[in-house]
Amino acid sequence: MGDRQAIYANLEAGAASIREYQQTFIPGLLQTPEFVRARTAAAGTLEPMAGTVEGVLAGRAGRQRMLRRPGGPTYEVIVDEVAVSRLTAPPEVVKKQLYHLATTVNGDPKATLRILPVRAIVEDFTVPRCTFSIYTYPDPGDPDVVAMDTVTSDLILTEPDQVAPYEKL
């Protein structure tokens, strides 16, 4: 697992809930190994990969097991319609990925997947500007955390005044 994937694994490990908004891709916690391979190959054209494909796959599989463990977090994700409509991998891989989404979420009472239609009218027109995840923890003393994954780095927010706008979105 690379350093960037480890950040998310650490945030997810103790979370009571994970809420995610994804504009571009199928969320990593719901990706199939074939989709991960295709996306890793595509990302490799932008920058050198830290680690190996096998390491990325192993890390992703571990993070997905964390969701299914007893006492694991609830997972609620909103995916923009574009993320499931655009071919971000070969068609046969995307077909398997979409089938996996439907069967995984329908079979897990702790997971909720919503697709935000392109034609949806968003209240007050407050459309998110980026993809983000919100993590809450069982200890009331732990702050909620917002994480944003960008092309080159990750941004982690913990201050209540910075987290609040993302919770509202």
> Residue 38 in contact with residue 93, Cβ under 8 Å?
yes
Q: Given CATH 3.40.30, say whether it is the number of domain 3-168.
A: no
pTM over 0.85: yes
Structure tokens at 66: 């964390």
Print pLDDT tens along the chain (169 aa): 567 777 888 888 889 999 999 998 899 889 999 998 888 777 655 565 666 778 778 888 888 888 888 888 999 999 999 999 988 889 999 999 999 988 888 877 888 999 999 998 888 877 888 899 999 999 999 999 999 988 778 899 999 999 999 998 8
Count CB atoms within 10 A of the CB of residue 56: 22
> Residue 163 in contact with residue 146, Cβ under 8 Å?
yes
> Residue 47 in contact with residue 13, Cβ under 8 Å?
no
Domain boundaries, the chain: 3-168
Could you read off the pLDDT of 21-51 as tens digits, one per residue? 999 889 988 999 999 888 877 765 556 566 6
